[in-house]
Structure 1
C-alpha cells in the first residue's frame, strides 16, 4: 500500500494539508451563509457556552397573527423557544417567505428573541431579512433591529406603510414616564391626546407594569435574574383606518397562575358562578381577575386593579381590550360586552392589547386631508 511506504514526515504534511483544506472549506461555507443580522458575518464560538458553530434554521411562517391564527402562531413561537433552550446550535430565523406579522404577534416574538439573547448571548439568535419590503419597513419602524442590536438593511425601494409604528420600549422596573414617552412618540408633531385619555392610558400602562413587578415573576419560580420583571411596550397609529393600538407584554407565569395566590378558590369560583370542585380554564381565570377587580395586591388602597386596564377603552364607543394570558384570551368591548376563548397552547406570559379610534382620544380628525382639530374650537 503506497500510503504505508510514504516516509513519516510526508504523511504528516499531507495530513496537515487535508486539515487546512477542510478548515478553509468550513470558513467559506460559514461566510457564504453569514446572517445579515450580524454586522461582520463572523462565526466566533461562544466563550463559556458549549454552542456549536453551525446554525439551526427555523422557517418563520408566511403569516403570524395572534387573533386569527392564534394556535399556529403560538405553536411556532413556543417551538422556537424550545429550540433556543435545547439546541446546541445557534438559531437562525428564516424570514424569506414571511409576508405579514400582526403587531401583537411581533411583540411576543420579539420578547422571546430579546430574552434568548439576554440569556444566551447576543449572537445566539440571528436570522435573515424578510423579502417583503413592507414587512422590512415595519421591522425597522418598530425598532425590531435596534432593540436586538443589529443593523437594518438599507431598503432598495422606498415603502410607505399605512401604519405608523413606534420603537419598542422595554424595562424591568415600574417606569412612570413610559406612558408619556409612548404617547409623544405616537402622536408626533401637532397631534395631542385629550387630558382624560392621557390619564386613563397612564393608569392602564402603570397597572400592567405593576402586575409584572409584583406578580408576573414570583420568587419561587426559576426565572433568571437577568430577565426577571422584564416587560415590553409598543404602539401604532393607523391614520387610514382611524386606529390607535397599544401593546404590553411580559413573559411571566401568567394571570391564571397568579390569581389563586391572591384569592381563595371559593372566591374565584363564586366570581365565575361555577360549582365547587370545577377547575376554570385560563380564559375563565382572566375573566375572574377582571370581575374581582383587584389582582395586584390585598391592600385596599390599591383600588380597582385589572379594571384599570378597561378604563382607557371605556372612554370611547368602539374600543376594545384583549388580554392574552397563558392559553386564554379575554376580550372587553366598549359598552360592556365580554367574551373569553381558551386555546390548547400557552403564550408563556401575558400580552395586553388596547385598540381605540384615534379620533376619539386625540385632536386628529379622520377627514380626507387628515386635519387636526383645534381643541379650543371644539364644543
Structure 2
C-alpha cells in the first residue's frame, strides 16, 4: 500500500510569527493530500522538537477530520518521536497524550479518550461533555467557588457556540451552511479540545477548536459590510463586543462575554482567539482587546482560555 509521507517543520506553533506560516502550510499539505488527491498519508512527527498547545489541538482536529470523514482510522497514520531519539518531541507529543488522540480515528476511540481522562478530546454534545471537562480540570486543585462558576459558564458557552454558530447558516440557525454540509454529514458539528490544570502557572487552561465558518465570516454574513469583508480582524473584534451577538437576549451565543467576565470581577485570566484570518488577544492587564490580521490561517475557530486559580476568600 503506497502512502504519501508528509514531514512537518521541527517547530509547530501558531502563536509565534516566526512559525505560524510553516505550521499552516504543513496542515494545508495534509488536507490537500487527503481531500484533493484522495491519498493515504503518513505524518512523520519523529523529528518534531516542539509543538505548542494550540498547534497540538489544531493538528488533532485536522487528522481526526481526515479519519472520520473517510471512516478509516488509517487514512492518516503518524510516526512518533521516541524518548531516546528525541526526548523533547517525545515529551510534547507522547507524554501529553497527543499521540493517543492522533490515533483515535473512530467514534469509539474518541469515547475512550473521554473515559480515560486524556487531555485531548472531541465531542458534539455540550450537555454530555461539560461535566467530564470540568472534572478533568478541577480534580487536582483547590478552587474558589466563584471561579468554578466562571469556569463552568465559560466552557459551557464555548461548547454551545460551536453548536449554535460554527457550522450553521447565519440566517437560519436550524440549517447547516451550504459550505459545511458535507463535513457535518460526515463528522457532525464537532469540536476538538484540550483541557488541563497547569500547576506551574496555577491556572486552568481550556482550548477548543472547530472547523466551521469562522467568526469573521459568520459576523459579516449578518452585517454585510465591505469593511468586514476586507478586514476580518475588525469583524472579530466587533463580534466580541457585548451586544453584537445575534443571540444576545435569548441566552445563547455569549461565550466571549462569559470568558471575559472574570476579569471584570478581579480574576486574572487571558483569552486568545484565532478565527478566519484574524487573531484576538485579551488579558487581565489590558483595557481592551488587541487584534491582528493574519495572512495565513485555517478555516475555523480556535479559542484558548487561561483562568488563574485564586484561593477561597481572595475574591469578593
Give 2:113's aligned residue: none
Residue from 245, 261, 265 that aligns with 1:295: 245
1:354 is paired with a residue of what secondary structure?
Answer: strand
1:326, 1:345 within 8 Å by CA — same for their partners in 2?
no
Match of 1:85 in 2: 35
- Provide Cα deviations, 1:172-212, integer angstroms capped at 9, x if missing partner: 1223552x3223223334x2222111211222122222221
Cα distance in structure 1, aligned partners of 2:277 and 2:197: 28
- The equivalent position to 1:98 in structure 2, one of 48, 52, 63, is 48
1:113 corresponding residue in structure 2:
63
Query: What corresponds to 2:223 in structure 1?
Result: 264
User: TM-score by structure 2 length?
Assistant: 0.80
Instruction: Give the SS at the match of 2:42.
Output: strand
The structure 1 segments of at least 4 consecutive aligned residues displaced by more than 6 Å after TM superposition are 376-379
Q: CA RMSD, aligned part only?
A: 2.9
Which residue of structure 2 aligns with residue 254 of structure 1? 214
The residue that corresponds to 1:235 in the other structure is: 195
For CA contacts below 8 A with separation 6 or more, give which structure has more relative contact order.
2
Rounded Cα–Cα distance in structure 1 between residues aligned with 2:44 and 2:74:
15
Paired residue for 1:184? 135
TM-score by length of 1: 0.68
Deviation at 1:348, TM superposition (A): 1.1
Contact 2:263-2:284 at 8 Å conserved across structures: yes
Structure 1: tracts of 5 or more residues without a match: 1-52, 152-164, 267-275, 364-374
Q: How many residues align?
A: 288
Query: In the alignment, what sits opposite 1:326?
Result: 276
In structure 2, C-alpha distance between the alignment counterparts of 1:133 and 1:316, rounded to whole Å: 40
Contact 2:13/2:20 (8 A) holds in 1: yes
CA contact (8 A) 1:210 1:296 kept: no
User: Aligned pair in 2 of structure 1 residues 183, 140: CA closer, same or farther (>3 Å)?
Assistant: farther
* Shift of residue 340, structure 1, vs aligned partner: 0.6
Aligned to 1:139: 93
Is the Cα contact below 8 Å between 1:313 and 1:319 reproduced in 2? yes
> Corresponding residue for 2:20?
70
Alignment match, 2:109: none
Cα separation, partners in 2 of 1:196 and 1:141, compared to 1, 3 Å: farther
Distance 1:303 1:66, change over 3 A: closer
